[in-house]
Amino acid sequence: MLSKKTKYGLKALTYISRTKSDSPVQVSTISKSEQIPQKFLESILLTLRKAGILGSKKGKHGGYYLRHEPSEIKMTDVMRVLEGPIAMVPCVSLNYYEKCDDCPDENKCSVHRLMIQVRDNTLSVFRNTTLEDLSNE
Amino acid sequence: MLSKKTKYGLKALTYISRTKSDSPVQVSTISKSEQIPQKFLESILLTLRKAGILGSKKGKHGGYYLRHEPSEIKMTDVMRVLEGPIAMVPCVSLNYYEKCDDCPDENKCSVHRLMIQVRDNTLSVFRNTTLEDLSNE
DNA sequence: GTAATCCCTAGTAAATTGATAGGATTAATG
DNA sequence: CATTAATCCTATCAATTTACTAGGGATTAC
C-alpha cells in the first residue's frame, strides 16, 4: 500500500508544479486545495526539501518551490524519498540491499526471482515518469 | 514491503510444489527446511487452504498438498490471498476498488494515473508467472 | 515590531505485523 | 481402544509503523 505521506507528497509536488508563478507556494494553500492536514503536509514538504527536491523561503510571503524543472524530477527519486525502497524485499533492492537471514542462495530463491521482475517493471515506470508527466491535464 | 506472511507462503508453496510425492507435506517439515516459525506457518497454510489453493489431510500422516497443477496456480491468485490487493491504492484496484475521499476526479489525479501504470506492470508479471515457474531450478 | 511563514522536536492513538499459547479435532496404527 | 501425530481454531501480545497533533522557535516582509 502507498502511504498517505507519499500520496500527499505527490499531490503537493503536482500542485506546486502546476502553479506557474514566481513566488513560492505556501503550505496552507496546498493544504486547503488538496485537502491535506496542514501540519502533516508541513513535515512532508520538509522531507522533500531536505532531500533537495524542494527549496524554501522563510518568513512572510515564504513558501516552497521546485529546485529543478518538473521534466527533470524523476519519480524514482521522489518515491525513494517519500516511500523508501522501490523493491518489495531488501534482497532485490538496488539502493538498500540486504541479504536475507534465511536464504542460503539467492539465485535459487523463488521469491527473489519473482520480486526482481516486479522491481524491474516498477522501476521502468518510475524512471520514465517525471513530475511534468504528473502535472499534465 | 512484502510481508513475511507472503514470503513464507510463497516459499512453502514452492517447497510443496517441488516435493514430488503422493503423500501430503507436513508443516513441521516445511518449517524446518525453510526456517519458518512453525505456528506462524500453520496459520499461513490454513489461509491458503481456505482460499482453495491448498488441500489438507488431518491426523497422523496428514499434511498439505496442492489442489491444482503448479502450472495452473497463478501468482495473481496467490498474491491476492497472502498480500491482499495488488494495487498500491484502492482507487486503482480491480478487485477491491474504493473511491478516495479527497479526489473529486480520478482521471485528473496525478497519483491515480501513475499508480495505474504500476499496477498494470505488476499485474502482468503475476499473470504470467505460475507456481511452476517459481519451482524450477 | 508585528504578522506570517517555515523549521524543529516530541508525542501519541490506532492499525498492522509477526508472531506465540493452548487446546480441540481428526486419523492412522499397534 | 489407546496412543500418537497431525491439522484446526481462537485468543493474545509485543513491537513497529502510520498518520497525525502540539507547541513553540527562527526568520523575513512590511
- A 41-100 residues with CB < 8 A to B: 75, 85, 88-89
Q: Which nucleotides of D are covered by protein (CB under 7 A)?
A: 4-11, 18-23, 26-30
Query: What is the reported pLDDT for B137?
Result: 77
DSSP B114: H
Mean pLDDT, 10 residues at a time, over chain B (137 residues)? 97 96 94 97 98 97 97 98 97 93 88 98 98 94
pLDDT at B89: 96
Among candidates A39, A34, A37, A28, which has minimal Cα distance to A10?
A34
Residue B55's alpha-carbon distances to A130, B4, B5, B13, in angstroms, are 47, 22, 19, 12
Q: What is the pLDDT of residues A14-55, one digit of tens each?
A: 999 999 888 999 999 999 999 999 999 999 999 999 999 999
Q: What is the pLDDT of residue A69?
A: 97
Ordered domains of chain A (ranges, CATH)? 4-66 (1.10.10.10), 70-135 (no CATH)
Given this model, what pLDDT does residue A104 score? 84
Handedness of CA A75, A77, A79, A82 (dihedral sign): negative
Look-up of cell digits 485528473:
B108
Q: What is the nearest CA distance from A57 to chain B, expressed in angstroms?
A: 26
